[in-house]
């Protein structure tokens, strides 16, 4: 029996579409990589999921050279071992395509979703076009409407998405190979060093900021404070000015040593604060990090899960506008059925619902907003859902009013200021809840010429501070303001820089390797880190989307530019290789040092047994008898964090495994912080491995046994040689 095949981007979407369109409950077929069968208007339908990109670009010919332009689309599971799970989804679509009479593409509506759908249509279904469902939420109502008003695939969006894939592949593989081959030619060692079309400029931006922080030299200055009695309270009045000369500060401090200070001036101002704008991807991820500490990649993953569950709209968007055709009243009414938003919903439904929108737009999707649908969810999802919901409610609120209250005091001719601030009308802040908390400092009513007893007079010595580090939230906003990356890629780019060992820490610190790589590229091939060039190609891909440019023209321009960059690089390959090798060795040496040994104050360092491939930590104090050692994960980049565990006091390391989020752990495998990691049987095994690590550390450090252990002789040689 023939049927209509609906292809979705993810398994949860396949289920949601089937449940929304079916006349009766759909039938689930299979467990993992399942699809759904149902009838609608006496016609048979099947919704089958992909799992993101089922196809990826791969070099078509053989050889490790650069630049690489001869590429082809291949199934993801054939190109990448980490995509092996996608094969079953591929096979399902391949099999179901045989009897499909009609095909509907229902992947996420953006350039990535359009490319996913187009490639499935072309390579698996052997078709050139299909009907297209377009939706921004997975509510039953919108999915129904999307089916009723289907369009065709957006050719410009496909061309733009394909262009971006080709650009990123050409740029990334060619320059990564150039860097890696340069190191190999210089030092006969293989170490993959990567950069990319957006990675390079972002790393350079952060490295320049890191240089400013490290080069910063503090300047001393002095501040004056006056502690005055106001009723039963003691308040602190600030002089307000930084005094750069100590003598000037001492003079003013001496003059202000009086018994009473007189009220010289009183200023009160009421400021109006407009409601916030709706969330786009960047502002949403920045706030998720700000309030909960979830990395941008993690935050986007949580938001994606909420979208798939039908709780919020599509989370990848540049827009700060809400759709004009949605029913605000209905959404807010449904939100009011949840206890957390009952009060706020009633407050809003009394008046007109007019959102405070921003100027940014997106051709594919509106800003992020809750749908009014509620389902049970996990703790992290609940936090992000609450933030998005309260932001949506606050957008409809009234302006808030805050009063600024300044009282200027005269103390021996030196001016000091008491500052107060309070909320006069909460407006939208009451809807935003804990996310709009403001400091309330209420000053008592004072009159001109009132005198206040001076309880204390301070002269504080201070220093100027270096520029603040970017957080994982603020860096997204900086990337957006500079036109680096897209709403969908910024979080991923940041994650890649962490996984490569170029960045570390929540307050972003560029590692020695990241700084060195940025500097070497700037000196030798500046186009690789050029923000201007990156913005140019970003604008060109956007022009394809609006029909103002053609994919072939943009790709040809990229090839020409990249060939020139690679030719320039090849002329300096040896020089670049020598500099990179020096940076790699210095970085590896620095990263191998994890912290001070608690037992002997020696240095705990990473070592590797080249015979077994196992890594472990040993102490440099071994020659003096220290046998401290710890096992390490066999895979992943290990980076010192310069922090120690609150429980066992051992150093904390960061481990980044390919294809996974970085995680942190202390060195002691038996620490109570890991009690949920291990059962008793595993604990004994880990304890034994920890003891073994200590012995391996001895083996590698014993000068007298060095030759024997290089030829993999047993530990007994060491024990017999040094038997006491």
pLDDT at 193: 83
Structure tokens at 401: 């009013």
* Domain assignment present for 591: no
The Cα 557–Cα 555 span in angstroms is: 5
Q: Is the pLDDT of residue 718 over 90?
A: no
User: Among the residues of 132-190, which ranges form H helices?
Assistant: 140-148, 155-187
pLDDT at 304: 94
Average pLDDT over residues 172-181: 93
Q: Is the pLDDT of residue 715 over 50?
A: no
The chain-wide mean pLDDT, for the chain, equals 89
Percent of the chain with pLDDT over 70: 92
Domain end call among 346, 368, 395: 395
Helices (H) and strands (E) in the chain, counts: 23, 24
Domain end call among 463, 487, 516: 463
What single DSSP character describes residue 82?
G
Decide: 192 and 517 in contact? Cβ < 8 Å. no
Domain end call among 435, 463, 491: 463
Q: How many domains in the chain?
A: 5
Task: Indicate which CATH number applies to the domain containing 510.
Answer: 1.10.460.10
Average pLDDT over residues 677-698: 56
Average pLDDT over residues 155-160: 94
The Cα 190–Cα 268 span in angstroms is: 67
Q: Are residues 440 and 511 in the same domain?
A: no
| Residue 580 CB partners (closer than 8 Å, separation 6+) | 179, 182, 183, 186, 193, 516, 517, 520
**Is 89 among the residues known to form the active site?**
no
Condensed to tens digits (0 to 9), the pLDDT of residues 47-90 reads: 999 999 999 999 999 999 999 999 999 999 999 888 999 999 99
Decide: 323 and 137 in contact? Cβ < 8 Å. no
Q: Are residues 712 and 665 in the same domain?
A: yes
Q: Are residues 608 and 713 in the same domain?
A: yes
Q: Is the pLDDT of residue 688 over 90?
A: no
pLDDT band at 724 (very low <50, low <70, confident <90, very high): very low
Specify the higher pLDDT residue, 532 or 586: 532
pLDDT at 694: 54
- What is the secondary structure of 497-556 as a DSSP string? HHHTTSEETTBTEE-HHHHHHHHHHHHH-GGGG-HHHHHHHHHHHHHHHTTSS-HHHHHH
Task: Indicate which CATH number applies to the domain containing 338.
Answer: 1.10.290.10
Q: Are residues 23 and 129 in the same domain?
A: yes
Q: Are residues 58 and 98 in the same domain?
A: yes
The Cα 205–Cα 199 span in angstroms is: 10
pLDDT band at 46 (very low <50, low <70, confident <90, very high): very high
Average pLDDT over residues 296-312: 94
What region, left, alpha or beta, does residue 565 occupy, with left being phi > 0 and alpha being psi -120 to 50 degrees?
alpha
Q: How many CB atoms lie within 10 A of CB 597?
A: 21
* Domain assignment present for 592: no
pLDDT at 713: 33
Residues pairing with 45 in the sheet? 4, 38
* Domain assignment present for 590: no
Task: Respond yes or no on whether the N-terminal peptide bond of residue 485 is cis (omega within 30° of 0).
Answer: no
Entry pTM: 0.83
Q: Are residues 60 and 143 in the same domain?
A: yes
pLDDT at 319: 94
Query: Across 41-143, where does the E strand assignment appear?
Result: 43-49, 55-59, 71-75, 100-106, 131-132
pLDDT at 109: 92
pLDDT at 348: 95
Q: Are residues 451 and 474 in the same domain?
A: no
Decide: 87 and 46 in contact? Cβ < 8 Å. no
Q: Are residues 82 and 112 in the same domain?
A: yes
pLDDT band at 271 (very low <50, low <70, confident <90, very high): very high
Decide: 563 and 525 in contact? Cβ < 8 Å. no
Catalytic residue (one of 66, 166, 279, 314): 314
Condensed to tens digits (0 to 9), the pLDDT of residues 306-317 reads: 999 999 999 999
Element (H, E) at 250: helix 246-255
* Domain assignment present for 568: yes
Q: Are residues 226 and 210 in the same domain?
A: no
As a 3-state breakdown, the chain gives helix, strand, coil percent values, each rounded to 5, of 45, 20, 35
* Domain assignment present for 589: no
Condensed to tens digits (0 to 9), the pLDDT of residues 200-244 reads: 999 999 999 999 999 999 999 999 999 999 988 899 999 989 999
* Domain assignment present for 650: yes
Condensed to tens digits (0 to 9), the pLDDT of residues 658-675 reads: 656 668 889 888 888 887
Decide: 524 and 510 in contact? Cβ < 8 Å. no
Specify the higher pLDDT residue, 262 or 662: 262
Task: Indicate which CATH number applies to the domain containing 267.
Answer: 2.70.20.10
Structure tokens at 337: 């059925």
Domain residue limits at 299: 281-395
The Cα 139–Cα 334 span in angstroms is: 13
The Cα 139–Cα 624 span in angstroms is: 69
Structure tokens at 262: 């007189």
Residue 351: closest CA among 328, 368, 367: 328
* Domain assignment present for 265: yes
The Cα 379–Cα 376 span in angstroms is: 10
Specify the higher pLDDT residue, 705 or 516: 516
The Cα 386–Cα 103 span in angstroms is: 37
pLDDT at 720: 37
* Domain assignment present for 159: no
The Cα 369–Cα 321 span in angstroms is: 10
pLDDT at 691: 57
Q: Within a 13 Å sphere around the CA of 67, how many CA atoms are in the beta-carbon half?
A: 21
Q: Are residues 27 and 138 in the same domain?
A: yes
| Residue 721 CB partners (closer than 8 Å, separation 6+) | 702, 704, 705
Q: Are residues 268 and 416 in the same domain?
A: yes
Q: Are residues 148 and 288 in the same domain?
A: no
| Residue 679 CB partners (closer than 8 Å, separation 6+) | none
Residues pairing with 103 in the sheet? 5
Condensed to tens digits (0 to 9), the pLDDT of residues 450-485 reads: 999 999 999 999 999 999 999 999 999 999 999 999
Decide: 443 and 418 in contact? Cβ < 8 Å. yes
Residues pairing with 266 in the sheet? 407
């Amino acid at each position: 029996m023939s049927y209509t095949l609906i292809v979705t981007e993810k398994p949860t979407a396949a289920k949601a579409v089937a449940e929304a369109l079916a006349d009766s409950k759909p039938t689930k077929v299979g467990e993992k990589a399942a699809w759904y069968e149902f009838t609608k208007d006496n016609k048979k339908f099947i919704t089958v999921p992909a799992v993101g990109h089922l196809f990826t670009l791969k070099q078509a010919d053989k050889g490790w050279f650069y630049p690489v332009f001869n590429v082809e689309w291949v199934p993801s599971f054939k190109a990448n071992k980490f995509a092996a799970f996608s094969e079953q989804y591929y096979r399902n679509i391949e099999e179901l395509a045989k009897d499909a009479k009609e095909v509907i593409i229902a992947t996420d509506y953006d350039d990535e979703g359009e490319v996913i759908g187009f490639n499935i249509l072309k390579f698996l279904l052997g078709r050139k076009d299909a009907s297209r469902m377009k939706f921004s939420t997975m509510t039953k109502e919108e999915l129904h409407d999307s089916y009723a008003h289907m369009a065709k695939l957006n050719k410009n969006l496909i061309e733009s998405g394909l262009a971006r894939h080709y650009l990123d592949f050409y740029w990334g593989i060619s320059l990564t190979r150039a860097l890696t081959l340069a190191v190999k030619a210089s030092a006969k060692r293989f170490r993959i060093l990567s950069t990319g079309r957006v990675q390079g400029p972002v790393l350079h931006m952060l490295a320049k900021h890191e240089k400013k922080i490290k080069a910063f030299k503090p300047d001393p200055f002095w501040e004056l404070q006056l502690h005055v009695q106001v009723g039963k309270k003691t308040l602190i009045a600030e002089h307000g000015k930084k005094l750069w000369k100590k003598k000037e500060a001492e003079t003013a401090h001496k003059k202000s040593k009086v018994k009473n200070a007189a009220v010289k001036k009183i200023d009160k101002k009421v400021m109006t604060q407009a409601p916030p704008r709706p969330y786009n991807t960047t502002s949403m991820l920045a706030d998720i990090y700000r309030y909960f500490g979830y990395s941008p990649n993690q935050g986007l993953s949580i938001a994606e899960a909420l979208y798939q569950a039908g709780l919020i709209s599509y989370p990848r968007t540049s827009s700060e506008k809400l759709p004009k055709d949605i029913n605000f009243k209905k959404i807010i009414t449904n939100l009011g059925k949840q206890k957390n938003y009952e009060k706020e919903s009633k407050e809003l439904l009394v008046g007109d619902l007019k959102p405070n929108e921003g100027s940014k737009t997106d051709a594919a999707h509106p800003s992020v907003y809750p749908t009014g649908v509620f389902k049970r969810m996990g703790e992290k999802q609940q936090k992000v859902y609450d933030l998005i919901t309260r932001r949506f409610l606050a957008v409809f609120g009234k302006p808030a009013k805050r009063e600024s209250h300044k009282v200027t005091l005269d103390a021996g001719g030196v001016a000091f200021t008491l500052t107060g601030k309070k909320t006069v009308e909460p407006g939208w802040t009451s809807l935003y809840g804990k996310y709009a908390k403001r400091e309330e400092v209420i000053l008592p009513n004072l009159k001109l010429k009132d005198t206040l007893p001076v309880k204390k007079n301070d002269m504080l010595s201070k220093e100027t501070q270096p520029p603040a580090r970017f957080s994982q939230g603020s860096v997204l906003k900086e990337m957006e303001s500079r036109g680096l990356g897209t709403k969908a890629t910024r979080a991923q780019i940041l994650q890649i820089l962490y996984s490569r060992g170029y960045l570390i820490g929540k307050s972003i610190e560029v590692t020695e390797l990241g700084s060195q790589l940025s500097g070497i590229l700037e000196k030798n091939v500046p186009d690789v880190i050029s923000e201007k060039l990156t913005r140019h190609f970003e604008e060109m891909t956007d022009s394809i989307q609006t029909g103002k440019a053609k994919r072939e023209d943009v790709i040809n321009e990229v090839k020409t530019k990249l060939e020139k960059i690679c030719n320039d690089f090849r002329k300096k390959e040896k020089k670049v290789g020598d500099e990179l090798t020096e940076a790699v060795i210095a970085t590896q040496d620095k990263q191998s040092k994890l912290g001070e040994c608690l037992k002997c104050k020696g240095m705990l360092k990473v070592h590797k047994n080249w015979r077994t491939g196992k890594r472990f930590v040993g102490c440099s104090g071994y020659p003096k008898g220290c046998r401290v050692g710890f096992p390490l994960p066999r895979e992943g980049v290990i980076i010192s964090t310069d922090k120690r565990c609150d429980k066992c006091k051992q150093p904390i390391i960061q481990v980044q495994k390919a294809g996974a989020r970085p995680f942190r752990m202390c060195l002691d495998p038996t620490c109570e912080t890991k009690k949920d990691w291990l059962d008793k049987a595993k604990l004994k095994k880990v304890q034994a491995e920890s003891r073994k690590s200590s012995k391996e550390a001895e083996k590698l450090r014993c000068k007298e046994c060095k030759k024997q252990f290089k030829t993999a002789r047993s530990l007994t040689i060491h024990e017999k040689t040094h038997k006491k």
